[in-house]
Amino acid sequence: MNERLSLTGGDTGDKRVQLVRLRLMIASSLTAAMVAIYFSFMTLFAFGNPVLGVILVPGLSLGILSGILVIICSFILCFALSTSRGRVPSLIQASTR
């Protein structure tokens, strides 16, 4: 969040603060999403064995499928951060218009 900012000339300190807060909010939300996804999986692993043990098709249990989905979700959330980082300055401008 302390990355060199791209705000120009007439920007005020308030805009900067807003930018920092927005970036922190995005990072915190994505972290919360990752933690929620992973610990939902781990909670089911610990307390809901029968659920993850359901065989969906021969050779594939819900556990294996959800494990692979957790891995894919981690890729998607990383991608979401990159996308959001590019859009943050425009979001700030839109909100202060």
Partner 1 sequence: MQSNVNGISIGFFFAFMALTLLITYWAAKRTNTTEQFFAADGKITAWQNGWALAGDFLSAAALLGIAGIITANGFDGMIYSIGWLVGWPVMLFLIVEPLRNVGKFTFADVVAYRLKQKPVRSAAAIGTLAIILFYLIAQMVATGSLIKLLFGIPYVWSVILVGSVMLLYVLFGGMLATTWVQVVKAILLLVAGALLAFLVLRRFDLSPLKLFTVAAEKYGTTVLQPGTRVVSGQWDAISLGLGLMFGTAAMPHVLMRIYTVKDVKAARLSIHYATGLIGIFHLFVLVIGFGAMVIVGPEIISKAGGGGNMAAPMLAEAVGGDAFFGFVCAVAFATMLAVVAGLTLSGVATLSHDVWVNVIKSGDVSKSEQLRIARASTILIAVFAVILNRSSIDDSDRRIRRNPGNLVRRTKRRVHGGTRIFDRVCGQFPIFSARHNLEAFYHRGRGLEHPDGSLQLSCSDTALAHDPNGRAWQNTPEYRRRLVVRAIEKPGHHLHASLIRGRRERVAPDP
For binding to partner 1 (CB under 8 A), which residues are involved?
1-5, 7, 10, 12-13, 16-17, 20, 24, 27-28, 30-31, 34-35, 37-39, 41-47, 49, 52-53, 55, 57-61, 63-64, 67-68, 70-71, 74-75, 77-79, 81-82, 85
Amino acid letter, 75 = F
Q: How far is it, in rounded angstroms, from Cα 1 to Cα 32?
A: 17
Tell the smallest beta-carbon distance from residue 76 to partner 1 (Å): 9
How many C-alpha atoms does 58 have within 13 Å on its Cβ side? 0
**If we measure between CA atoms, which residue out of 37, 25, 43, 39 comes closest to residue 69?**
37
- Select 75 or 94, whichever has its Cβ closest to partner 1: 75
Pick the closer one to partner 1 by CB: 7 or 87.
7
Nearest to partner 1 of 27, 91 (CB atom):
27
| The pair of three-digit structure tokens given for residue 34, joined into one six-digit string | 């990752």
Rg of the chain in Å (alpha carbons): 20
Nearer to partner 1, 45 or 91 (CB): 45
**Shortest Å, Cβ 91 to partner 1:** 17
Q: Tokens for 16, please give them.
A: 């900067």
